[in-house]
Amino acid sequence: MTANFDSIEEVLKDIKTTTIVDCPLVPVVIPDVGLNTYTTLDTFGNMVKLKVPKRGVIVSATYYDLDYEGLQMNLHIFNHLITQIAPEAAWAPSDGDILNLVTRLAFVSFDSHTNSYTSEITNIGKAYTAHEGLFYIQAQCVGAQDMASAAVYPRYQLQIQSFDPDFKES
Protein backbone atom coordinates (compact mmCIF):
# COMPACT_ATOMS: atom_id res chain seq x y z
CA MET A 1 0.00 0.00 0.00
CA THR A 2 2.79 2.44 0.81
CA ALA A 3 4.16 2.30 -2.73
CA ASN A 4 0.75 3.24 -4.08
CA PHE A 5 0.44 6.23 -1.75
CA ASP A 6 3.97 7.34 -2.69
CA SER A 7 3.08 7.12 -6.37
CA ILE A 8 -0.08 9.15 -5.85
CA GLU A 9 1.82 11.77 -3.89
CA GLU A 10 4.43 11.98 -6.66
CA VAL A 11 1.76 12.53 -9.30
CA LEU A 12 0.05 15.20 -7.22
CA LYS A 13 3.35 17.05 -6.79
CA ASP A 14 3.89 16.93 -10.56
CA ILE A 15 0.41 18.29 -11.21
CA LYS A 16 0.95 21.00 -8.60
CA THR A 17 -2.39 22.79 -8.56
CA THR A 18 -5.28 22.93 -10.93
CA THR A 19 -7.37 25.94 -11.76
CA ILE A 20 -10.59 26.57 -13.63
CA VAL A 21 -9.98 28.79 -16.66
CA ASP A 22 -12.28 30.46 -19.19
CA CYS A 23 -11.53 29.57 -22.80
CA PRO A 24 -11.55 32.16 -24.18
CA LEU A 25 -11.51 34.84 -21.50
CA VAL A 26 -14.35 36.66 -23.31
CA PRO A 27 -17.01 34.60 -25.17
CA VAL A 28 -15.97 33.95 -28.78
CA VAL A 29 -18.21 34.86 -31.72
CA ILE A 30 -19.00 32.07 -34.18
CA PRO A 31 -17.37 33.53 -37.31
CA ASP A 32 -18.82 33.94 -40.80
CA VAL A 33 -22.37 32.96 -39.90
CA GLY A 34 -23.88 35.34 -42.44
CA LEU A 35 -27.49 36.45 -42.64
CA ASN A 36 -28.69 33.34 -44.41
CA THR A 37 -31.26 30.86 -43.21
CA TYR A 38 -29.61 27.65 -42.07
CA THR A 39 -31.45 24.36 -42.30
CA THR A 40 -31.43 21.53 -39.82
CA LEU A 41 -28.03 19.88 -39.22
CA ASP A 42 -26.05 22.42 -41.27
CA THR A 43 -22.53 23.49 -40.42
CA PHE A 44 -23.02 26.87 -38.73
CA GLY A 45 -20.38 29.48 -39.58
CA ASN A 46 -16.70 28.60 -39.74
CA MET A 47 -14.46 26.73 -37.35
CA VAL A 48 -12.90 28.49 -34.36
CA LYS A 49 -9.30 27.81 -33.34
CA LEU A 50 -9.29 28.18 -29.56
CA LYS A 51 -6.29 28.28 -27.22
CA VAL A 52 -6.79 25.77 -24.37
CA PRO A 53 -4.64 24.02 -21.76
CA LYS A 54 -2.74 21.06 -23.22
CA ARG A 55 -4.31 18.79 -20.58
CA GLY A 56 -7.57 19.37 -18.82
CA VAL A 57 -11.19 18.56 -18.16
CA ILE A 58 -14.04 20.43 -19.80
CA VAL A 59 -16.15 21.33 -16.78
CA SER A 60 -18.92 23.50 -18.24
CA ALA A 61 -19.86 25.59 -21.27
CA THR A 62 -22.14 28.52 -21.99
CA TYR A 63 -23.80 29.38 -25.30
CA TYR A 64 -25.04 32.96 -25.84
CA ASP A 65 -27.95 33.17 -28.29
CA LEU A 66 -28.15 36.95 -28.85
CA ASP A 67 -30.56 36.55 -31.80
CA TYR A 68 -33.22 35.00 -29.55
CA GLU A 69 -33.60 31.83 -31.63
CA GLY A 70 -33.75 29.28 -28.78
CA LEU A 71 -32.85 26.39 -31.08
CA GLN A 72 -30.44 23.57 -30.28
CA MET A 73 -26.83 24.24 -31.20
CA ASN A 74 -24.04 21.66 -31.20
CA LEU A 75 -20.35 22.41 -30.78
CA HIS A 76 -18.07 19.70 -32.16
CA ILE A 77 -14.67 19.94 -30.44
CA PHE A 78 -11.55 18.48 -32.05
CA ASN A 79 -7.96 18.35 -30.76
CA HIS A 80 -6.43 18.60 -34.26
CA LEU A 81 -7.28 20.70 -37.30
CA ILE A 82 -9.99 19.09 -39.44
CA THR A 83 -11.15 19.86 -42.96
CA GLN A 84 -13.42 22.91 -42.88
CA ILE A 85 -16.96 22.13 -44.01
CA ALA A 86 -18.54 25.14 -45.71
CA PRO A 87 -21.17 27.08 -43.75
CA GLU A 88 -24.69 25.92 -44.64
CA ALA A 89 -23.37 22.56 -45.88
CA ALA A 90 -24.47 19.32 -44.25
CA TRP A 91 -22.37 18.34 -41.24
CA ALA A 92 -20.34 15.42 -42.61
CA PRO A 93 -16.77 15.19 -41.28
CA SER A 94 -14.50 12.58 -42.81
CA ASP A 95 -13.71 9.32 -41.00
CA GLY A 96 -10.15 10.55 -40.52
CA ASP A 97 -11.31 13.85 -39.01
CA ILE A 98 -13.80 12.22 -36.65
CA LEU A 99 -10.93 10.31 -35.01
CA ASN A 100 -9.80 13.68 -33.57
CA LEU A 101 -13.18 14.40 -31.96
CA VAL A 102 -12.90 15.23 -28.26
CA THR A 103 -16.63 15.65 -27.67
CA ARG A 104 -19.87 17.15 -28.91
CA LEU A 105 -21.61 19.67 -26.69
CA ALA A 106 -25.36 19.88 -27.34
CA PHE A 107 -27.04 23.06 -26.06
CA VAL A 108 -30.70 22.04 -25.86
CA SER A 109 -32.27 23.95 -22.97
CA PHE A 110 -32.43 27.74 -22.94
CA ASP A 111 -33.04 30.46 -20.37
CA SER A 112 -34.86 33.52 -21.70
CA HIS A 113 -33.55 37.01 -20.98
CA THR A 114 -36.31 38.86 -22.93
CA ASN A 115 -34.05 39.76 -25.88
CA SER A 116 -31.63 36.84 -25.81
CA TYR A 117 -31.17 33.29 -24.58
CA THR A 118 -28.37 31.50 -22.80
CA SER A 119 -27.80 27.79 -22.54
CA GLU A 120 -25.46 26.16 -20.06
CA ILE A 121 -24.06 22.68 -19.80
CA THR A 122 -22.62 21.87 -16.38
CA ASN A 123 -20.75 18.90 -14.95
CA ILE A 124 -19.41 17.84 -18.35
CA GLY A 125 -16.33 16.12 -16.94
CA LYS A 126 -14.70 15.34 -20.30
CA ALA A 127 -10.95 14.80 -19.89
CA TYR A 128 -8.79 15.57 -22.91
CA THR A 129 -5.30 16.18 -24.23
CA ALA A 130 -4.57 18.78 -26.90
CA HIS A 131 -0.87 18.53 -27.69
CA GLU A 132 -0.91 21.78 -29.68
CA GLY A 133 -2.77 23.61 -26.88
CA LEU A 134 -5.64 24.21 -29.32
CA PHE A 135 -9.20 23.09 -29.88
CA TYR A 136 -10.82 23.36 -33.28
CA ILE A 137 -14.53 23.94 -32.74
CA GLN A 138 -17.24 23.72 -35.38
CA ALA A 139 -20.81 24.79 -34.62
CA GLN A 140 -23.76 22.91 -36.08
CA CYS A 141 -27.37 24.09 -35.97
CA VAL A 142 -30.08 21.59 -35.24
CA GLY A 143 -33.02 23.83 -36.15
CA ALA A 144 -33.52 26.42 -38.90
CA GLN A 145 -31.43 29.40 -37.79
CA ASP A 146 -32.01 32.85 -39.33
CA MET A 147 -29.62 35.58 -38.14
CA ALA A 148 -30.96 39.15 -38.01
CA SER A 149 -27.56 40.89 -38.13
CA ALA A 150 -23.86 40.39 -37.43
CA ALA A 151 -24.34 42.19 -34.10
CA VAL A 152 -26.26 39.19 -32.77
CA TYR A 153 -24.06 36.34 -33.98
CA PRO A 154 -23.98 33.69 -31.25
CA ARG A 155 -21.05 33.26 -28.87
CA TYR A 156 -19.75 30.58 -26.54
CA GLN A 157 -17.24 30.01 -23.79
CA LEU A 158 -15.79 26.88 -22.16
CA GLN A 159 -14.74 26.50 -18.54
CA ILE A 160 -11.84 24.06 -18.23
CA GLN A 161 -10.05 22.57 -15.27
CA SER A 162 -6.46 23.05 -16.37
CA PHE A 163 -3.71 20.53 -15.67
CA ASP A 164 -1.28 22.63 -17.72
CA PRO A 165 0.86 24.78 -15.41
CA ASP A 166 2.05 26.87 -18.40
CA PHE A 167 -1.44 27.85 -19.61
CA LYS A 168 -2.46 31.49 -19.24
CA GLU A 169 -5.95 32.79 -20.02
CA SER A 170 -6.08 35.27 -22.90
Spans of all domains in the chain: 18-162
C-alpha closest to that of 113 among 61, 62, 147: 62
| Strand 101-107 versus strand 19-29 pairing type | unpaired
Angle at 115 between CA 29 and CA 45, to 5 degrees: 25
pLDDT above 70 for 152: yes
Average pLDDT over residues 118-134: 97
pTM: 0.88
C-alpha distance from residue 140 to each of 17, 63, 70, 144 (Å): 35, 13, 14, 11
C-alpha distance from residue 36 to each of 39, 45, 88, 121 (Å): 10, 10, 8, 27
Can you give the pLDDT at residue 88?
Answer: 85
Average of per-residue pLDDT values in the chain? 90
At 159, the pLDDT band (50, 70, 90 cuts) reads very high
Helix (H) or strand (E) holding 129: strand 126-129
Can you give the pLDDT at residue 147?
Answer: 77
- Per-residue pLDDT of 6-49, as tens digits, reads 666 666 566 566 799 999 999 999 998 877 777 788 899 999 99
Can you give the pLDDT at residue 1?
Answer: 46
Can you give the pLDDT at residue 26?
Answer: 97
Helices (H), 45-93: none
Sorted by sequence, the CB contacts under 8 Å of residue 69 that are 6+ apart come out as 117, 143, 145, 146
Highest mean pLDDT of the ranges 16-25, 86-95, 121-130: 121-130
pLDDT above 60 for 77: yes
- 1-37: b (≥16 Cβ within 10 Å) or e: eeeeeeeeeeeeeeeeebeebebbeeebbbeebeeee
The answer to whether domain 18-162 has CATH 2.60.120 is yes
Average pLDDT over residues 107-135: 96
pLDDT above 90 for 161: yes
